[in-house]
Structure 1
Amino acid sequence: MALNEVHISSLVVHVLPEHLNVVKAQIEQFDNAEIYADSPEGKIVVVLETAHQGFITDTIDAINQLPNVLSTVLVYHQIETEQSLQESNLPKTTNSQVEGDV
């Protein structure tokens, strides 16, 4: 039985600074991509949420093919399954102490 997976990853896209806004608009057209930050130096932080790992590599390749993109680097990748997502929504029963409490 296959588990439903969600792949969450982040990328840093480096573009020619004078084309930052154009490239951002192009990246925003991808269904699975969200821009979280950018810098005047031409760096864009993109978060992807996809159904499988192949979409990540396909999206990286597509972004790399955009005009004025210098590089795209994967910096984070996490896989969540439907089961782990359901478990994370369960009430927590652990106790914690603040430093100094007894």
Structure 2
Amino acid sequence: MSEQIVNDEEYHVASYVAHAMPDQIELIQHEINQLEGAEIHATSDIGKIVFTLEATNQKKIANLIDTIRHHKGLLNLAPVYHQFLNE
């Protein structure tokens, strides 16, 4: 059996712009706010939501995004920035 090495000192932050249907903004904001490490920074009346995710690895970021990307009220989800640091 191989042993997986986990680096607990890795830190990832990724930012996204989501475009939601205007009548679904509050529901999608609620779903984003339920994600561990998520923070919404701005929302517009036309449905744009700017948010960041923080996690200890890239796989966690991808899993968090997968939980919302198929929401029926989400028109588009675009990554803006991703940075990781080894502390």
TM-score of the superposed pair, with normalisation by structure 2:
0.84
Figure out how many residues of one structure are paired with residues of the other and give that number.
82
Higher Cα radius of gyration: 1
CA distance in 2, matches of 1:72, 1:56: 14
- Which secondary structure state, in structure 1, belongs to the residue aligned with residue 71 of structure 2? coil
Question: How far is 1:67 from its partner?
Answer: 2.7
Cα deviation digits, residues 13-40 of structure 1 (max 9, x gap): 1110111111101110111211011111
> 2:62 aligned to 57, 69, 73, which one?
57
What residue is the counterpart of 1:7 in the other structure? 12
Question: Structure 1 unaligned runs (5+)?
Answer: 83-102
CA distance in 1, matches of 2:42, 2:20: 13
Give the percent of matched residue pairs that are identical in Structure 1 and Structure 2: 37
Q: Which has the higher contact order (CA 8 A, sep 6+)?
A: 2
2:82 pairs with one of 53, 67, 77: 77
**What is the letter of the counterpart of residue 79 of structure 1?**
F
> Does the CA contact (< 8 Å) of 2:8 and 2:56 recur in 1?
no
Partner of 1:40, secondary structure, is: coil
